[in-house]
Amino acid sequence: MRSRVIELTVNDEPREFLAPPGTTLLSALRETLGLTAAKRGCAQGTCGTCTVLLDGDPVMSCLVPVETIDGAAVQTLEGVGGERSGGEASGRDRGELDAIQAAFLEGFATQCGFCTSGMIMAAEGLLAENPDPSREEVVRAISGNVCRCTGYESIINAILDAAQRRAAVVR
């Protein structure tokens, strides 16, 4: 039972680290790479608060042993927004929010905040694939993400708002 060297592209930067056997992607992000936006909620794939993008698709990172995805690209909330060029750290350090983050902030779509990073990553996955979603498509996209403050309406509105903000920039 030996640790293995794992290489991932995390938020567009190559990362290499040692993973003890059985380490989940979530644990690797939080405990090894210091990226704590993805949260450990249920560890059962039920709550969605650990959602990250794996090769572009939203997944529950608590369900993925990191040894099975060596070489993959992972996007976390830390890599959303800001300037990500030149090997600098995450957008968090640069302080510039992306459209979804800004829409969540201004639309009061965050209450306790525990679900927010998972919600935003599920929304990032949706808008990357479908930049102009219907309300129903937004509801479906976040159907694996639980908000126990039950603030779903403002979250859905924020994601729809973010889609409009992005469309406005493109125009």
- Positions 55 through 84 that interact with other proteins (CB under 8 A): 57-60, 62-65, 67-70
> In whole angstroms, how close is the CB of 46 to other proteins at the nearest point?
8
Report strand pairing: 73-75 vs 4-10.
parallel
How many helices (H) and strands (E) the chain has is answered by: 6, 5
Tokens read off for 170:
């493109």
Q: Which of 141, 147, 159, 162 binds other proteins (CB under 8 A)?
A: 141
- Residue 14 in the binding site for other proteins (CB under 8 A): no
d(CA 63, CA 25) in angstroms, rounded, equals 8
- Positions 17 through 46 that interact with other proteins (CB under 8 A): 20-22, 24, 43-45
Is the separation of the CB atoms in 77 and 113 below 8 Å?
no
Q: In the complex, which residues of this chain contact other proteins (CB under 8 A)?
A: 1, 20-22, 24, 43-45, 48, 51, 54, 57-60, 62-65, 67-70, 122, 125-126, 139-141, 143-145
